[in-house]
Amino acid sequence: MKLRKAAAASAAVLALAVTATACGSSDKDDSGSSPSGGGTIKVGIKYDQPGLGLKQPDGSFAGFDVDVATYVAGQLGYKPGQIEFVETKSADRENALARGDVKFIAATYSITDERKQKVDFAGPYLLAHQDLLVKTDSNIAKGTDLNGKKLCSVTGSTSAQNIHDTIAPKANLKEYGGYSECIAALQSGAVDAVTTDDSILAGFAAQDKYKGQFKLAGLKLSNENYGVGVKKGDAELEKKINAALTKMVSDGSWKKAVEKNFGPANYKYEQAPKIGAIVK
pLDDT at residue 12, as a whole number: 44
- Residues 6 or more apart whose Cβ sits within 8 Å of residue 26: 39
247-254 CB contacts, 8 Å cutoff, 24+ apart: 247/75, 248/68, 248/71, 248/72, 248/125, 249/275, 253/67, 253/71, 254/68, 254/125
User: For residues 262 and 198, what is the distance between their CA atoms, to the nearest angstrom?
Assistant: 10
How remote is the C-alpha of 187 from its chain's centroid? 26
Task: List per-residue pLDDT tens for the chain, 280 residues long.
Answer: 444 444 444 444 434 343 333 333 333 444 444 554 579 999 999 998 999 999 999 999 999 999 999 999 999 999 999 999 999 988 899 999 999 999 999 999 999 999 999 999 999 999 999 999 999 999 999 999 999 999 999 887 778 888 999 999 999 999 998 888 999 999 999 999 999 999 999 999 888 888 889 999 999 998 999 999 999 999 999 999 999 999 999 999 999 999 999 887 778 889 999 998 665 5
Radius of gyration of the chain, Cα coordinates, nearest whole angstrom: 23
pLDDT at residue 7, as a whole number: 45
Which CA distances in Å does 109 have to 26, 153, 199, 200? 30, 18, 12, 12
Task: List strands edge to edge, sheet with 83-87.
Answer: 83-87, 41-45, 104-105, 224-231, 119-128
pLDDT at residue 4, as a whole number: 45
pLDDT at residue 278, as a whole number: 61
Strand partners, 196: 131
Note the residue count of the chain.
280
The DSSP-derived string for 79-116 is: -GGGEEEEE--GGGHHHHHHHTS-SEE-SS-B--TTGG
Task: List strands edge to edge, sheet with 150-154.
Answer: 172-176, 150-154, 193-197, 130-135, 214-216
Segment (H or E) for 35: none
Q: What pairing do the DSSP bridges indicate for beta strands 41-45 and 104-105?
A: parallel
- Residues 6 or more apart whose Cβ sits within 8 Å of residue 164: 151, 171, 173
Q: What pairing do the DSSP bridges indicate for beta strands 104-105 and 172-176?
A: unpaired
pLDDT at residue 107, as a whole number: 95
